[in-house]
Structure 1
Amino acid sequence: MIDIGQNDLADSFAKNLSYTEVVKMIPSFVTEIRNAIQVIYSQGGRKFWVHNTGPLGCLPQKLTLVQKVSSDLDPHGCLANFNSAAKLFNEGLRHLSQELRSEMKDATIVYVDIYAIKYDLIANSSSYGFSNPLMACCGYGGPPYNYRKGVTCGQHDYQVCSEGSEFISWDGVHYTEAANRVIASKILSMDYSTPRIGFDFFCH
C-alpha cells in the first residue's frame, strides 16, 4: 500500500515556497513514486494499492499557520491553493498509475481517490454527524481551529474535546477514529477505486 503526497506538499509549503514553486516540484515527487514502485516491482511486488493525498488545505494546522484573507478560502473554509496543489499532485499520481498498468502487464495497480472521500467528509460533515469539520479535538486555543504552534496535542496545556466522535480532526493534522471509520468504509466500498478491485484481493 502506498499512501503518499501530504508530507511532500506540506513540507514544501512550510518552506515558504509560493504556490507556483510548489506546483513545479510535483513532477519530481511523482517521478520518485514511479522509481519506488519500479524497485518494488523488480523485487517481486505485483499488487499495488495506491492512495492519493487528501485536502491539505482543510487541516486545522495549515489553516492556523498560514496568513490568509477570506479570498484564500474555498466555500467550505479550506485553503484553496493548498487543495489545488493536492489535486494537481493527485492528477499526476492517477496518470502514473495508468502508465504503470500499461508497462507492468502482470501487476495490479489500484488507484484510490482519498481526496474525494475526505473532502466530502468535510463538505458534508453534518450528514456524517460531525459538528466541527475544521477544528482539532486535541489542541489549544478554541474555535475556530483549536490549534496553536507550541501547544499542540500532547504538549503542556493542551486540551482534549469531550466528544471526539463529533470531530474530524484529532490534532490538527491527523483524523479522529470516528472520521477514519467513515473513511475506511468508503475505501472498502470500492466506489473510489480504479479499477474497482476489493481489498480482499490484496490479502491472497
Structure 2
Amino acid sequence: MATLFHYSNTFSIFVTLVLLALLVLRQPSAAASCTTPPVIFNFGDSNSDTGGLVAGLGYPIGLPNGRLFFRRSTGRLSDGRLLIDFLCQSLNTNLLRPYLDSLGGTKFQNGANFAIVGSTTLPKNVPFSLSIQLMQFSHFKSRSLELASSSNSLKSMYISQDGFRNALYMIDIGQNDIARSFAKGNSYSQTVMLIPQVISEIKSGIKRLYDEGGRKFWIHNTGPLGCLPQKLSMVKSKDLDQHGCLASYNSAAKVFNQRLDHMCMELRNQLKDATIVNVDIYTIKYSLIANSNEYGFERPLMACCGYGGSPYNYNVKITCGHRGSNVCDKGSRFVSWDGIHYTETANAIVAMKVLSMHYSNPPTPFHFFCRH
C-alpha cells in the first residue's frame, strides 16, 4: 500500500497533539468523579462498531485501520479510536467489546456493544437492524441475570439486575437509512417520507429498553451525510452547498434530526423517571468541514485512505485497505479516514465537543451517568 500524502506542516501536527492532549487532560476530572463507571450498552452502526462485523461475520478489516492507537486492526473503521471509545475513556471504564465477540475472553462486566457496520432501522427483520440488536440485548440480559443469580463461583463477574437498571443506554443509528434511500435512487421527498418510520423504530427501541428497566439514555443524531467523500464521489448530479457538501443529503439529515429531537421531547414527557439526552452530532461534525482551517484540516472533503486522489480520494472499487489504495501520512490532518468514517483526530475533537455539554439537550455532564 502506497503513502499518498506527506505534510511537514509542524503547526498542523502541533495542533493535533494539543487537541489530543486536551482530551486526555479532560478525562481525569470526569474520571475522578466517576469512581464507579456505569455499565454501558450501545446500539448503532459503523460509527460506533468496535469490532462487531469482524466478530460476527468474520469480515476482514485489516491495517491501516487501527494503525494509530491500537497499532493493529480491531474491526473499527478508523485509523484509531471512535467517538464511543473516547466517551468510555472519559468515564474511566474499559472500551466496549462487541456482543458477538465470543472469543474476547471477557464477561462483559462493563457492558456490551451491539452496533454493527451497515446497520439500519428499516427493514427491521434483517441483520443487524436495530430491532435485531435489541433482541440480542434481551437475550444477553436474560443470560446475564441467570448467571449472576446462580451458584457459580464467578457469578459476581456478571451484570446484575442493579447493573442493568443503572446502565447507560446509547443509541447512534439512522444515517444508513437515509443513505440507503438515496442509493436506491429515491428522490429527496421520497427519502424524507421514510424518516417518520425510522424515528418510530428508534422510539419503539427506547420504549423497549425502558420496559426492560433502562432509565438512562444517550442518543446521537446523525451527521452531515452530504459531506462524506463517498457520497460526493458517487453522486453524479451534485447540488453543493457553500462548503462543497451535498445540500439535499444534508437537508434530509437535518429533517431526521429535527424529528429525533421532537421524539426525545415526547419521551421525556411520557417516561417521567427516565433521563433522555440527545446530542447534536450534526452541528459538531459540520463545523469540522465549515471551519476546517481553524482545526488544521487542509482537505476536509478528501479521504485519508482510499484511491483516486483529489478531490475526494474515494473509489468504490478500491476502498481503504484494498490492493492499490493509498493512505495519508500519520501526521496528516484529515477529517475523513476512508470516505465514510472519521479519523481518530476528528473523533477526538468531536468527543471534546460532546463532553463540553454545549451540544446536549438537556445540557448534561457525561459523568452524570456514573453510579453513586
| TM-score > 0.5, shorter chain as reference | yes
Instruction: Report what 2:325 is aligned to.
Output: 158
CA distance in 2, matches of 1:172, 1:203: 35
Three-state SS of the structure 2 residue aligned to 1:75 is coil
Higher share in helix: 1
Partner of 1:80: 247
The farther-off stretch of 58-67 and 161-170 is 161-170
Higher gyration radius (CA): 2
Secondary structure, aligned partner of 2:338: coil
**Superposition CA RMSD, Å:** 0.9
For residues 241 and 369 of structure 2, what CA distance do their matches in structure 1 show? Answer: 37
Map residues 47-196 of structure 1 onto 2, 5 A cutoff. 47-69=216-238, 72-163=239-330, 165-196=332-363
| Structure 1 residue 5 displacement after superposition | 1.7
Gaps of 5+ in 1: none
Alignment equivalent of 2:206, drawn from 15, 33, 37? 37
Q: Is the 8 A contact 1:57 1:82 kept in 2?
A: yes
Worse overlay, 163-172 or 76-85: 163-172
Which string of whole-angstrom CA distances, capped at 9 and with x for unpartnered residues, describes residues 22-50 of structure 1?
A: 00000000000010000000000000001
Partner of 2:77: none
Q: Deviation above 6 Å: which 4+ runs of structure 1? A: none
Given the alignment, which residue of 167, 182, 190 partners 1:21?
A: 190
Q: Distance in 2 between matches of 1:169 and 1:163?
A: 13
Partner Cα distance (1:90, 1:172) in 2: 22
Distance 1:118 1:33 in 2: 22
CA distance, structure 2, for counterparts of residue 13 and residue 117 of structure 1: 23
Q: 1:73, 1:79 within 8 Å by CA — same for their partners in 2? A: yes
What is the match of residue 198 of structure 1?
Answer: 365
In 2, Cα distance between the equivalents of 1:183 and 1:164?
18
2:174 is aligned to 5
Whole-Å separation in 1 of the counterparts to 2:244 and 2:331: 21
In 1, distance between residues paired with 2:279 and 2:370? 17
Q: CA deviation at 1:106?
A: 0.1
- Displacement of 1:101 after TM fit? 0.1
In 2, the alpha carbon distance for the partners of 1:167 and 1:155 equals 19
Amino acid at match of 1:157: G
Task: For residue 164 of structure 1, report the CA deviation from its aligned partner.
Answer: 5.3
Q: Tell me by how many angstroms 1:12 deviates.
A: 1.1
What CA distance in whole angstroms lies between the structure 2 residues aligned with 1:30 and 1:97? 10
Aligned residue pairs total 202
CA–CA distance in structure 1, aligned partners of residues 332 and 362 of structure 2:
32
Say if 1:59 and 1:173, in contact at 8 Å, map to a contact too.
Answer: yes
- The SS at the match of 2:313 is coil
Percent sequence identity over matched residues? 63
CA contact (8 A) 1:168 1:175 kept: yes
The superposition leaves residues 65-121 of structure 1 with CA deviations (integer Å, 9 ceiling, x where unpaired) of 11124xx00000000000000000000000000000000000000010000000011
